[in-house]
Amino acid sequence: MKAVIQRVGNASVSVAGKKIAEIGQGLLILLGVSENDTQDDILWLSKKIANTRIFNDANGQMNKSLLDMDGDAIVVSQFTLQASVKKGNRPSYLKAAKPAVAKPLYIDFIKQLETDLSKKVQAGEFGADMKVSLLNDGPVTLLFDTENKI
């Protein structure tokens, strides 16, 4: 499971011209599910994202987590994070989980993040053509990969 998290001043997701999710200060989380991901990956990734200290404290130092600041989150499914670009010019998506596997893990991730944050998490629409708008704050952008969690 891979996640790109972006610290945002605000973010929103629209499908077919209709806004379906919107947050203020917090994290935009792009989530790519692989064919080998498990519930253990969800638990690790959710906890890591909720507790990673990338928000400024009163001294302007990145010492606060999303959990500390009671920030908001939007999770957007993005299978292209699982792309391999090693050969040729066309990305290969063989490692990306098929929708029947990916969608339940995506939903489980959102539920786990809600549990870890003790609040509702906004979400994109799985499999939809989405338009994502954001005001990147910093910018601060991190990549998490559950294959590299040790």
Any idea which residue has 């947050």 for tokens?
23
Predicted TM-score of the model (pTM): 0.95
Domain count, the chain: 1
Q: Is 144 a catalytic residue?
A: no
Give the mean model confidence (pLDDT) for residues 66-78.
97
Kindly name the residue from 38, 39, 61, 80 that is annotated as catalytic: 80
Q: Is 80 a catalytic residue?
A: yes
Kindly name the residue from 78, 82, 122, 146 that is annotated as catalytic: 78
Give the mean model confidence (pLDDT) for residues 88-114.
95
pLDDT in tens, 20-52: 999 999 999 999 999 999 999 999 999 999 999
Query: Is the Cβ–Cβ distance between 32 and 78 less than 8 Å?
Result: yes
Q: Is 79 a catalytic residue?
A: yes
pLDDT in tens, 108-133: 999 999 999 999 999 999 999 999 99
Give the residue from 107, 51, 43 showing the smallest Cα distance to 75: 107
Range of the domain at 138: 2-148
Kindly name the residue from 79, 109, 126, 144 that is annotated as catalytic: 79
DSSP string, 29-63: EEEE-BTT--HHHHHHHHHHHHH-EEEE-TTS-EE
